[in-house]
């Protein structure tokens, strides 16, 4: 039977009522999203959570099937809702009395850089907005271009040594070191649940992580390694592949985040495996009065002065200044010449440091202070 005009109008009114209910529910969801945004700022968690979004989509697809709805269209709808939710979180920032600190790190959530940033900035008054970027250069340029306030970059590891890319980026200028953070690094071998060690054929991770686990990997004669741009991204890749011949070296947090099984704990070559991170900003930040400081220098020795490096070291030694690091890197435009990075205990404005910098002037062609900052406690 065909509905009458009155019945048809009533059906439309019912649909309009359901539409209003849907919008009210969406409004309620957006209000909760703002609460989530505040919690994320407090805990220094990125707004965009890819694994969480995938779990939401998987759940709604399943519910759509159970309810007899088109799962593909429901997924498309929810992708829009998730985008709307992230946009609402971003908009929420403009309504707060205090703006959160914007911090960039290399990698994705669960990467060691992310964990170090989360530990350092969680609980900050005003909150902290973390953003993961694919490469060190993108992180550095985000600070230099003013897209973020700070960045945390790894600069050396107690097992694998210096991270040269960070040194080379600092040489380009435009940023100062404002702090250092030292984090313990415990590497785990992550696999899809049920995988056995003898099943593995490929282990993927960041090149630094692979170097830090060389001894363990050398014992896996049936396995080849594959480089990925970060550790947590490697874990995500293993999860997406669902391949029992595929494993990642990453953190315990990355395993939990991606639902992977930890096949072996603590596979790094050295049990005391630590990474030093430097915090960089466009402008230098004063050290707190009374704090133990460190100064990082970048210099090129005078080419026409034999023994310049020895003279330079003596200038620091005579003033009781302790060098904690001396690193050389090639000068790209001058074959077989090098720039040197020095870490010196003391502040650049102390009398001893000022005298030392004047004293080494005849030994160098170029000298740049990369920053004076609070010295991290030794682990």
Residue list, annotated binding site for substrate: 12, 29, 40, 49, 53, 85, 89
Burial of 82 (0-12, 13-18, 19+ CB in 10 A): middle
Both tokens of 132, joined, read: 């993961």
Cα–Cα dist 61/76, whole Å: 10
The CB density around residue 83, as the number of other CB atoms within 10 Å, is 12
How many Å apart are CA 117 and CA 175, to the nearest integer? 18
- For the chain, the maximum distance between any two Cα atoms, rounded to a whole number of angstroms, is 104
Instruction: Please identify every residue annotated as catalytic.
Output: 275, 277
Q: What is the DSSP string of 41-53?
A: HHHT--S--HHHH
Task: Report the 10 Å Cβ neighbour count for 272.
Answer: 10
Going by the DSSP 8-state scheme, the letter that residue 286 receives in this structure is: P
Half-sphere exposure of 133 (CA within 13 A, CB side): 18
Q: Whole-angstrom Cα distance, residue 237 to residue 226?
A: 12
Residue 346's region, left for phi above 0, alpha for psi from -120 to 50, else beta, is left
- The H-assigned helical ranges of the chain are 5-43, 50-66, 71-93, 112-121, 136-144, 164-171, 207-212, 214-218, 231-241, 252-258, 308-318, 351-359
* Torsions phi, psi for 286 (to 5 deg): -60, 145
Give the span between the Cα atoms of 238 and 246, in whole angstroms: 6
């Amino acid at each position: 039977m065909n509905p009458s005009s009155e019945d048809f109008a009533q059906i439309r009114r019912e649909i309009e009522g359901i539409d209003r209910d849907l919008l009210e529910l969406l409004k309620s969801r957006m209000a909760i999203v703002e609460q989530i945004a505040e919690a994320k700022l407090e805990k220094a968690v990125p707004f965009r959570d890819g694994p969480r979004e995938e779990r939401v989509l998987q759940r709604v697809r399943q519910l759509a099937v159970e309810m007899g709805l088109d799962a593909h269209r429901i997924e498309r709808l929810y992708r829009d809702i998730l985008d709307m939710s992230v946009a609402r979180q971003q908009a929420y920032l403009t309504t707060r009395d205090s703006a959160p600190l914007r911090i960039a790190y290399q990698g994705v959530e669960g990467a060691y850089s992310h964990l170090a940033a989360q530990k350092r900035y969680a609980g900050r008054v005003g909150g902290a907005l973390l953003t993961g970027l694919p490469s060190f250069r993108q992180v550095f340029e985000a600070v230099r271009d003013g897209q973020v306030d700070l960045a945390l970059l790894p600069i050396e590891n107690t097992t694998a040594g210096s991270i040269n890319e960070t040194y080379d980026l600092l040489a380009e200028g435009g940023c100062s070191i404002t702090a250092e953070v030292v984090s313990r690094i415990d590497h785990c071998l992550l696999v899809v649940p049920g995988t056995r060690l003898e099943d593995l054929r490929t282990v993927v991770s960041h090149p630094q992580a692979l170097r830090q686990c060389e001894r363990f990997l050398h014992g896996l004669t049936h396995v080849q390694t594959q480089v990925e741009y970060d550790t947590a991204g490697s874990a995500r890749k293993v999860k997406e592949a669902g391949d029992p011949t595929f494993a990642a070296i990453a953190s315990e947090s990355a395993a939990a985040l991606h639902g992977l099984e930890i096949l072996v704990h603590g596979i790094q070559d050295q049990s005391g495996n630590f990474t030093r991170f430097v915090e960089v900003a466009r402008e230098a930040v004063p050290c707190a009065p009374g704090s133990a400081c460190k100064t990082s220098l970048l210099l090129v020795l005078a080419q026409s002065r034999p023994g310049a490096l020895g003279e330079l070291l003596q200038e620091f030694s005579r003033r009781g200044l302790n060098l904690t690091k001396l690193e050389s890197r090639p000068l790209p435009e001058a074959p077989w010449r090098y720039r040197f990075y020095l870490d010196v205990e003391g502040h650049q404005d102390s009398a001893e440091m000022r005298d030392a910098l004047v004293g080494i002037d005849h030994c160098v062609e170029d000298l740049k202070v990369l920053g004076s900052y609070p010295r991290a406690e030794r682990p």
